[in-house]
Structure 1
Amino acid sequence: MPKQGQSSFEVEVVRSARRTKTVSGKLVGNTLQIRIPATATKKQEEQWVASLVAKLEKKAQKKPQSDEQLFQRAQTLNATVLEGKADLRSIMWVPPRKSYWGSCDSASGIIRISEALRDVPQYVLDAVIVHELTHTFITTGHSPEFWRWADKAPQAERAKGYLEAWARMLSLGALTKPS
């Protein structure tokens, strides 16, 4: 059973005499087990492995759907975008509010993110998370220093435009959720 380090997980290819045409992949712990026909060529194996690894990586990059996944995403953004400056204690999804996408209680370090953002592009959600994380270490409101940090989110300006346009469409009743 050859192992191939392709990503943040191990890949284990299992050749099966019982398989004749199909390929399957299953994540077991930190190992992607890929079962292929025993008669597959090395080139076929490489193509199948690349395809299944790409699918798994794409799935892993999808937006967080649980509070724990949201917390993990916020930790990653804190480390990579904000140099670990944020004091993140808790982050959670909350029912949509009419006046904001997220909120931060800087005293407690608790961040709330509107469930309305579950379907937005990843860069939009990331920008809102970085914005709220910035409130944990710059507590003087939306000062120029605050925006220097908050605007470090990837595609921050694009995300602001997306949210502004979406908010206008929602206020006109033209949209019920983002597409």
Structure 2
Amino acid sequence: MPVKVIRSAKRKRTVAARLNGGVLEVRIPGWMSKGEEADAVADMLSRVAKRTTTQHTSDEQLATRAHQLNAKYLENRAKLGSIRWVSNQNTRWGSTSLATGDIRISDRLQKVPDYVLDSVIIHELTHTFIPGHPKEFWQWADRAPKAERAKGYLEAFARFGHAEEAD
């Protein structure tokens, strides 16, 4: 989710946030350091995520979702071998084995909004029939609902917090 930080000299101690047109506006005191700002933004993202997420817990749910997304957005072009959550991906959201069609999704995404998880799944499914990231790849991967918004959310999520902090 895109974040806009608004500093205020009048605001003395409190931090507030609201969604405005899909952008999380975080209002903070003007005196806060960059580190305190990052903590405040992470906290607000966490609070919003709690209100707007579905927890995706099982590999079976993940597989069902992947098959639905493949049919709906990718014309069943993806050749899915298997899909499961993994806990050893700390720098990637997902990965795909081109040889087998096996997809691994970082368990850090178990509590993100549905549209974000869907975007990552569609991205990885697209890799099963288009390796790399050429123009054609993005024409398929960006069919995900709210694809650009999901990219912004993941960018902020990577920068300001992890799913386990959203509890």
Query: Aligning the two structures, in what range does the TM-score lie when normalised by the shorter sequence?
Result: 0.5 to 0.7
* Alignment pair present for 1:145 and 2:143: no
Distance 1:175 1:125 in 2: 12
Q: Which has the higher contact order (CA 8 A, sep 6+)?
A: 2
TM-score, length of structure 2 as denominator length: 0.64
**Hey, what does 1:49 align to over in structure 2?**
none
Shift of 1:99: 1.1
Q: Which residue of 101, 106, 112 maps to 2:93?
A: 101
Runs of 4+ deviating beyond 6 Å: none
Partner of 1:74: 66
Gaps spanning 5+ residues in structure 1: where? 1-60
Counterparts of 1:1-179 in structure 2, within 5 Å, are 62-139=54-131, 141-170=132-161, 177-178=165-166
C-alpha separation between the residues in 2 aligned to 1:101 and 1:83? 23
Contact 1:120 1:178 in 2 (8 A): no
Preserved contact between residue 115 and residue 150 of structure 2 (Cα < 8 Å): yes
The aligned length equals: 115
Secondary structure of the corresponding residue to residue 157 of structure 2: helix
1:142 partner letter: H
User: In structure 1, what residue type is equivalent to 2:165?
Assistant: K
Cα distance 1:137–1:175, how it changes in 2: closer, same or farther (>3 A)?
closer
Deviates more, 1:63-72 or 1:78-87: 63-72
Contact 1:64-1:73 within 8 A present in 2 as well: no
- Give the distance between the partners of 1:64 and 1:125, measured in 2 at CA: 9
* Partner Cα separation in structure 1 for residue 54 and residue 69 of structure 2: 15
Shift of the 165–111 alpha-carbon distance from structure 1 to 2, 3 Å rule, reads same
Local SS of the residue matching 1:112:
strand
The answer to whether the 8 Å contact 2:90/2:106 transfers is no
Structure 2 residue aligned with 1:45: none
Rounded Cα–Cα distance in structure 1 between residues aligned with 2:56 and 2:163: 23
Gaps of 5+ in 2: 1-52
Q: Distance in 2 between matches of 1:159 and 1:178?
A: 17
- 1:65 Cα deviation after fit: 1.6
Identity %: 57
Between structure 1 and structure 2, the one with the greater Rg is: 1
How far residue 177 of structure 1 moved from its aligned partner, in angstroms, is: 3.2
Secondary structure of 2:158's aligned partner: helix
Work out whether residues 166 and 178 of structure 1, in 8 Å CA contact, stay in contact via their aligned partners in 2.
no
Query: Could you say what the CA RMSD is over the residues aligned between the two structures, in angstroms?
Result: 2.0
